[in-house]
Amino acid sequence: MARIIGGLGTSHVPAIGAASDHGKTRDDYWAPLFAGYAPAREWIRRVDPDVAIIVYNDHATAFSLQLIPTFGLGMGDEFPPADEGYGPRQVPMVRGDAELSWHLAESLVINDEIDITFVNDLHVDHGLTVPLTIMCDRPDEWPFKVIPLAVNVIQYPQPTGHRCLELGRAIRRAVDSYPEDLKVLVVGTGGMSHQLQGERAGLINREFDLAYLDRLVSDPDAQAAVPHVDYLRQAGSEGLELIMWLVMRGALGGDVREVYRHYHVPASNTAAGLIVLEPTA
């Protein structure tokens, strides 16, 4: 039987990928951020997942304003890195697990009545490939298969935090019912506090970010009840990406053990956070 072995939440700042791609990880600016990733990478090597469900948002690469799925599940056996205007990142092909994807889709739609868009042809952008770099550095091949789960956090109306948490819980039920013996990691990406435009461009709210990490561990239902407007006011226009971490948290069940956290500012004018959690049951 498949089982969820842990969850990881991380920012997916595109400049983090660029720093890795161009050999800048030991530069004075980037070294403290990348040094903080080492314990998470060691944890990944230790737990050795077979598959990672990566919850991310597309940045007008695979989807546009002509088609905006609330939740889009990658169904293929591979997902090429996307060209985001400067050529695809020179990272390995993302290998999928179509059988598990279809099992998730069937369980979510039929058993839990959650609407999912099936995405059979999907190029994945920095929202997914940067977290892979954060977790795995620069291997010749990613060490596990990946199921992309794209969430709309761009175009109003976005799903609520509560709906994201419940989606995670439904994913847990789906994984638990899969007969193959697989170790599954769930990754929530995006955030933390940041705003990329307007009068508040460059906003970082350390107090909000750290409180979010605390509630993610101890009281995810309370965090899921936080309205979108609070994210916008306190964490900036792009801070709403943090609702995607709630999918990861829901998939871990009730109580969790915090293995590791890392928080750093700034990373390309944003706050960058990472947390590693393990389910206790």
| Residues contacting 133, CB < 8 A, separation 6+ | 16, 17, 20, 91
Instruction: Determine the Cα–Cα distance for residues 105 and 115; give it in Å rounded to an integer.
Output: 9
Residue of 59, 103, 162, 194 with catalytic role? 194
C-alpha to C-alpha distance for 78 and 144, rounded to whole angstroms: 12
DSSP 8-state code for residue 172: H
- Summarised one tens digit per residue, pLDDT across range 40-60 is 999 999 999 999 999 999 999
pLDDT at 65 over 90: no
Q: Which of 12, 103, 126, 264 is catalytic?
A: 126
Contacts of 210 (CB under 8 A, 6+ apart): 263
Query: 162 an active-site residue?
Result: no
With b meaning 16 or more CB within 10 Å and e meaning fewer, what string describes 112-123? eebebbebeebb
* Chain CA centroid to CA 273, Å: 12
pLDDT tens-digit map of 202-219: 999 999 999 999 999 999
pTM: 0.98
80-98 average pLDDT score: 96
Average pLDDT, the chain: 97
* β-strands 94-95, 78-79 pairing: antiparallel
Domain of residue 86 covers 3-279
Query: How many distinct structural domains can be found in the chain?
Result: 1
> How much is the pLDDT for 7?
98
Q: Looking at the predicted structure, is the pLDDT value of residue 108 above 90?
A: yes
- At residue 112, the 3 state secondary structure works out as coil
Q: Is the pLDDT of residue 237 over 90?
A: yes
| Active-site residue flag, 12 | no
pLDDT tens per residue, range 115-126: 999 999 999 999
CATH number at residue 90: 3.40.830.10
